[in-house]
Amino acid sequence: KGNGRDLVSYFSPGHDSQRRTTAQLLMHSALREALQRDEFFLEYQPICDTQSTRMVALEALIRWRRADGSIVPPDQFIPMAEQSRLIILIGRWVIARACRDLSALRAAGMPALQVHINMAAPEFLDSELPAQLVAITAAAGVDPRQICLELTESVIMQRIDKALPVMRELARLGFDISLDDFGTGYSSLSRLKALPIASLKIDRLFLRGVPHDGNDCAIVRSIIDLGCNMNLRVIAEGVEQDAHLGFLRQFGCTLVQGYLPGRPMRLADLMAAHGDPARLPAPVPIPAFH
Ligand code: C2E
Ligand code: MG
Ligand code: MG
Ligand code: MG
């Protein structure tokens, strides 16, 4: 089933998909135990304003600390969790923890920030999501406008018939939606214009070639223009170098995320930095880019 439901596979002893099934079962029970044992934790990566140089939002990123102390990154377990309803349980845990952390930040006197939360297709398309989001935020005393749900193009476009009404409902309730990894999926521009989204995130793939690769530069500039002209906030991901920041500032991208503004960090470290660990270097006279 992991390969899609409408496929027939032939069994042979030691068949590759058979081994994968066993591995999947093991992973599935390990993830279920991880939830019970509270082995997941969140790190927060700052999203900064290139003009004010301040942190304006955070992206919550899940990690798994295994019993042996090793840390497993999300790419190594989220795809597995997505094969079952486990992803919904993990996703709801993420929302609840992020809301609790938002309250803690407010109690510590930090300015109100928006938290971005990543969502896989099954969590987003679960019919109980809107009601549960409302309940979780209300219980934590968090304003829905402080929550931004990050969806990839494929999550939205694969089931656009189901996704669009959910997006509209969430927008009506005050939640923001951001299009993650923009440019790597297959959304059509005609669809894009109909989406009730507040922002889009330029995939970090494109930043890698900035400023030396002419095509990457053209793509990044075009996405910035597209987003701005559609009144969306545009967030560049994977900002690692001063040259990236200079380029983005020059071409009007006001929000950045990446190792240069700040790495993902634990809540305690965020609080220790008094809410502003991620001061960007101030704008400098901009070098010429072509
Ligand atoms: P994403 O949403 O695109 O998150 C950005 C990823 O890029 C994060 O990887 C982050 O640590 C990494 N990153 C940030 N700045 C830089 C940079 O300057 N250079 C480079 N090379 N990488 C950078 P991470 O934390 O390993 O997460 C990977 C993916 O896992 C995320 O991609 C997201 O799709 C998924 N994910 C993370 N947390 C959750 C979650 O709570 N729920 C779900 N469903 N998915 C999640
Ligand atoms: Mg994301
Ligand atoms: Mg992304
Ligand atoms: Mg991603």
Q: Which atom of ligand 1 is nearest to the CA of 120?
A: 44
Ligand 1 pocket test, pick from 47, 58, 61 with the greatest ligand atom count within 8 Å of Cβ, gives 61
| ipTM score for this prediction | 0.98
Tokens of 216: 């990457």
Identify the residue whose tokens are 């993650």: 180
Indicate if ligand 1 lies below 6 Å from the C-beta of 48.
Answer: no
What spacing in Å lies between the alpha carbon of 226 and ligand 4's midpoint?
A: 21
Report the pLDDT value the prediction gives residue 237, as an integer from 0 to 100: 97
Closest CA to 7 of 17, 28, 23, 15: 17
Query: CA-CA distance, 234 to 200, in Å (whole number)?
Result: 5
Report the pLDDT value the prediction gives residue 193, as an integer from 0 to 100: 87
- Give first-to-last CA distance, the chain, whole Å: 49
pTM over cut 0.80? yes
CA distances from 226 to 98, 171, 223, 242 (A): 31, 21, 5, 24
What spacing in Å lies between the alpha carbon of 196 and ligand 4's midpoint?
A: 20
The series of mean pLDDT values per 10 residues for the chain, 290 residues long, is 52 56 89 97 95 90 97 96 95 98 90 94 96 98 97 91 96 98 83 92 96 96 95 97 95 95 91 61 47
